[in-house]
């Protein structure tokens, strides 16, 4: 469209010069040596890279992965519209968070009465909940890959894990209505933070007339986890 | 002027893309729904109840439906076709189930023969979680009134509630669909609903229970029963009004039996949801402890948990009150009626 609007007789444009136009002007004399080395820099770099990750110390490997996980934690805590979580997805972060949450939430083994959730129940809820939400968003026509979505949902549990830690600390004090109000406030704030973070990453992958349909299950998921955190009582 | 032009352009494009997708649409006669105004289609299909407003929508639905190639059930796009809904459509279907009207067939008017699985699935999930959460909240509120009740977050309720509701929304429509197909020969005009449409009807009719369960937190008994009856009436009415056009051509006996079975099952579900709230305090903890710790029934003797309102009282497990009679229908307390009570009465043996 824009091209058609341009007048064809525009004096500003010049005809492009044919390739190698000036080559005929150069005379290669015998004096100029044409020599050098032809190396393909990429290949040697890759070979170096491979052997370096094989031979590097375990500490380096672990630190590299931990740094990647930590960087994604930062992205969740300060959600901006960036692609890092989506591009380099990994499931280490969600696993660490899920295990931490399940360990803190499980009721003690002695009391088998209607207690809180067991470790397995929390684990199953988090992972199967995330899988269900991912399937739901894919079935609704979202263009996000399966593991990317799992990665985002898992990482966005971080605020709720922080809320669990805070609740645990607050529960060390004496129980009472103030205690409960503090825990309620913390859980509500972290719940809102989780929703905002996951929406910032996932909302764009849905068609616009189905965004609410895809976001509601995420809301339900984090609501259930927040509920489990809020009703936690140390036995 | 520019806006009108844009609108006109948009429509043309949409229609042409539809025609491009379904090249044979113009030549297919199908159910005769490609008549220019669609009045013929309306009369044949639904017994002439509906006005001409249905005409345009039935045209478009017919176009989209006739030539849609059904992919095999092993492909992902097969299941994607069940989630082909927009936010506004889901909200419209929920509204339609909340406000049933006698001439207003849910399937024809709201589903428009395009059932979805999104609504039933997530309404059931929400209902299961809301049931568990409000059950928990009931216990919290009860504990505030009587500090001797031991509070614990009953997490197993989620599992039980979820399994019950999903079984209800899948098995009962399966039975209903099978029954309607079996009786298909008796009906001339109206074909039976497909299985998915039946699931949709049931799924969306459960929506009204979600706010009802939340409102049941108010500890005023007559208000609770009022809400329960209202919810049951609304959802049963939406079921009955949807099933009536299919069933009325059958014999009176079959129609009456079918509709009353549907309403009865729905009432059982409502009572099952309601049950734990009213009988929880007096019976569920004692029953749980006696059922699961049969060698040590002395748990019931320890505290005044069994009857918080009456203070210390020995040995009786559960009150034979009217509310206690709801126990057989409770999906949550898994105890049989007779045995544990006698165990706790006899004490340690």
pLDDT for the residue A1: 45
Evaluate if residue B166 carries a pLDDT over 70: yes
pLDDT at position A189 over 70: yes
Contact between B104 and B96 (Cβ < 8 Å): yes
Q: Please say if the pLDDT value at position B303 is more than 50.
A: no
Contacts A112 to B, Cβ<8 Å: 292
Mean pLDDT of B163-190: 80
Q: Report helix, strand or coil for B292.
A: helix
pLDDT for residue B35 is more than 80: no
pLDDT of residue A95: 93
Q: How confident is the model at residue B190 (pLDDT cuts 50, 70, 90)?
A: low
Q: What is the pLDDT of residue B183?
A: 77
Residue B182 confidence (pLDDT) above 70: yes
For residue A231, what is the nearest residue in chain B, using CA coordinates?
B153
Q: What tokens appear for A185 in the block?
A: 């406030």
Q: Which of residues 190-219 of A touch B (CB under 8 A)?
A: 209-213, 216-217
Residues of chain A neighbouring B82 (CB-CB closer than 8 A): 139
Across the range A43-57, mean pLDDT stands at 64
Residue B101 scores a pLDDT above 60: yes
Residue A204's pLDDT is 81
Of the partner residues B86, B157, B292, the one whose CB lies closest to the CB of residue A209: B86
Q: Count H helices, E strands: chain B?
A: 15, 0
Q: In this predicted structure, which of A2-11, A31-40, B253-262 has the lowest mean pLDDT?
A: A2-11
Of B118, B125, B288, the CB nearest to A114: B288
H helices of A56-105, in order, are: 58-77, 84-87, 92-105
Report the share of chain B in percent with pLDDT over 70.
55
Is the pLDDT at B193 greater than 90? The verdict is no
Residue A19 has φ and ψ, to the nearest 5°, of: -65, 150
C-alpha span between B126 and B119 (Å, rounded): 10
pLDDT score recorded for residue A217: 93
Confidence (pLDDT) at A114: 56
- Nearest neighbour of B122 by CB, restricted to A216, A224, A233: A216
Q: How far apart are CA B73 and CA A151, in angstroms?
A: 28
Residue A161's pLDDT is: 94
| Nearest residue in chain B measured CA to CA from A218 | B122
Judged against a pLDDT cut of 70, whether residue A190 lies above it is answered with yes
Inter-chain residue contact B136 with A231, CB threshold 8 Å: yes
**A127-156 mean pLDDT:** 90
Q: Ranked by mean pLDDT, which of B5-9, B238-242, B284-288 comes out on top?
A: B238-242
Contacts of A106 in chain B (CB under 8 A): none
Tell me which chain B residue has its CA closest to the CA of residue A219: B126
Give the mean pLDDT of B238-250.
81
From chain A, the residues in CB contact with B144 under 8 A are none
Nearest-Cα residue of chain B relative to residue A124 = B159
With beta carbons under 8 A apart, name residues in chain A contacting B87. Answer: 209-213
pLDDT of residue B272 exceeding 90, the answer is: no
Task: Report whether B148 contacts B281 (CB < 8 A).
Answer: no
Q: According to the model, what pLDDT value does residue A25 have?
A: 67
What gap in Å lies between CA A218 and CA B107, rounded to an integer? 29
Task: Give the pLDDT score at B128.
Answer: 92
In terms of pLDDT, which residue wins out, B191 or B225?
B225
pLDDT of residue B244: 83
pLDDT at A77 over 60: yes
What mean pLDDT is reported for chain B?
Answer: 68
Alpha-carbon distance A92 to A77, whole Å?
17
Nearest to A213 among B87, B153, B156 (CB): B87
What does the pLDDT read at residue B265?
A: 85
Q: Chain B contact for A114, CB < 8 A?
A: yes
Cross-chain Cβ contact A113/B289 below 8 Å: yes
The single-letter DSSP state of residue B337 is: S
In terms of CA atoms, which chain A residue is nearest residue B137?
Answer: A231
Q: Which of A29-38, B181-190, B243-252, B278-287 has the lowest mean pLDDT?
A: B278-287
pLDDT band at A116 (very low <50, low <70, confident <90, very high): low
A47 and chain B: CB distance < 8 Å anywhere? no
pLDDT over 90 (residue B126): yes
Contact B131, B161 (CB under 8 A): yes
Rounded mean pLDDT of chain A? 81
**Is the Cβ–Cβ distance between A140 and A123 less than 8 Å?**
no
Q: Is B155 within 8 Å of A114 when comparing Cβ atoms? A: yes
Minimum Cα–Cα distance from B153: chain A residue:
A116
pLDDT of residue A201: 84
């Amino acid at each position: 469209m824009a091209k058609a609007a341009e007048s064809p007789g525009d004096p500003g444009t010049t005809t492009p010069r044919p390739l190698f136009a000036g080559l005929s002007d150069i005379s290669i004399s015998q004096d100029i040596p044409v020599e050098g080395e032809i190396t393909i820099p990429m290949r040697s770099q890759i070979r170096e890279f491979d052997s370096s990750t094989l031979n590097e110390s375990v500490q380096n490997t672990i630190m590299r992965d931990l740094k990647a996980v930590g960087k994604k934690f930062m992205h969740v805590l300060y959600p901006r519209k960036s692609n890092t979580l989506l591009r380099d997805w990994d499931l280490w972060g969600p696993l660490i968070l899920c295990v931490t949450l399940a360990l803190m939430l499980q009721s003690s083994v002695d009391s088998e009465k209607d207690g809180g959730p067991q470790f397995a129940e929390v684990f199953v809820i988090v992972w199967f909940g995330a899988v269900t939400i991912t399937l739901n968003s894919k079935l609704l026509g979202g263009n996000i890959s399966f593991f990317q979505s799992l990665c985002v949902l898992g990482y966005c549990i971080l605020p709720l894990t922080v809320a669990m830690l805070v609740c645990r600390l607050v529960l060390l004090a004496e129980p009472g209505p103030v205690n409960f109000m503090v825990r309620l406030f913390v859980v509500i704030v972290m719940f809102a933070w989780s929703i905002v973070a996951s929406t910032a990453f996932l909302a764009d992958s849905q068609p616009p007339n189905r965004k609410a349909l895809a976001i509601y299950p995420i809301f339900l998921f984090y609501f259930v986890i927040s509920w489990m955190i809020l009703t936690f009582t140390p036995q | 002027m520019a806006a009108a032009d844009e609108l006109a352009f948009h429509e043309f494009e949409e229609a042409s893309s539809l025609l491009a997708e379904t090249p044979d649409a113009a030549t297919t006669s199908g159910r005769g729904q490609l008549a220019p105004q669609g009045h013929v289609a309306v009369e044949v299909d639904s017994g002439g109840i509906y006005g001409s407003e249905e005409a345009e929508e039935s045209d478009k639905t017919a176009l989209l439906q006739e030539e849609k190639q059904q992919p095999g059930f092993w492909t992902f796009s097969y299941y994607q076709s069940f989630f082909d809904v927009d936010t506004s459509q889901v909200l419209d279907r929920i509204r339609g189930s909340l406000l049933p009207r006698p001439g207003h067939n849910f399937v024809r008017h709201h589903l428009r023969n395009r059932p979805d699985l999104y609504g039933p699935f997530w309404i059931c999930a929400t209902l299961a979680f809301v049931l568990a959460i409000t059950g928990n909240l009931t216990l919290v509120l009860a504990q505030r009134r009587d500090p001797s009740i031991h509070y614990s977050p009953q997490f197993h309720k989620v599992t039980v509630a979820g399994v019950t509701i999903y079984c209800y929304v899948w098995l009962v429509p399966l039975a209903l669909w099978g029954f309607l197909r079996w009786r298909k020969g008796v009906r001339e005009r109206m074909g039976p609903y497909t299985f998915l449409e039946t699931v949709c009807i049931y799924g969306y009719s459960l929506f009204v229970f979600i706010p009802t369960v939340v409102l049941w937190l108010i500890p005023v008994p007559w208000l609770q029963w009022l809400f329960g009856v209202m919810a049951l009436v609304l959802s049963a009415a939406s079921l009955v009004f949807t099933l009536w056009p299919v069933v009325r051509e059958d014999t009176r006996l079959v129609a009456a039996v079918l509709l009353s079975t549907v309403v009865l099952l729905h009432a059982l579900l409502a009572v099952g949801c309601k049950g734990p709230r009213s009988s929880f305090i007096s019976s569920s903890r004692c029953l749980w402890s006696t059922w699961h710790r049969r060698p040590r029934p002395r748990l019931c003797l320890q505290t005044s948990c069994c009857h918080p309102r009456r203070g210390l009282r020995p040995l009786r497990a559960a009150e034979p009150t009217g509310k206690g009679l709801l126990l057989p229908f409770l999906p949550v307390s898994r105890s049989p009626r007779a045995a544990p009570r006698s165990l706790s009465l006899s004490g340690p043996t």
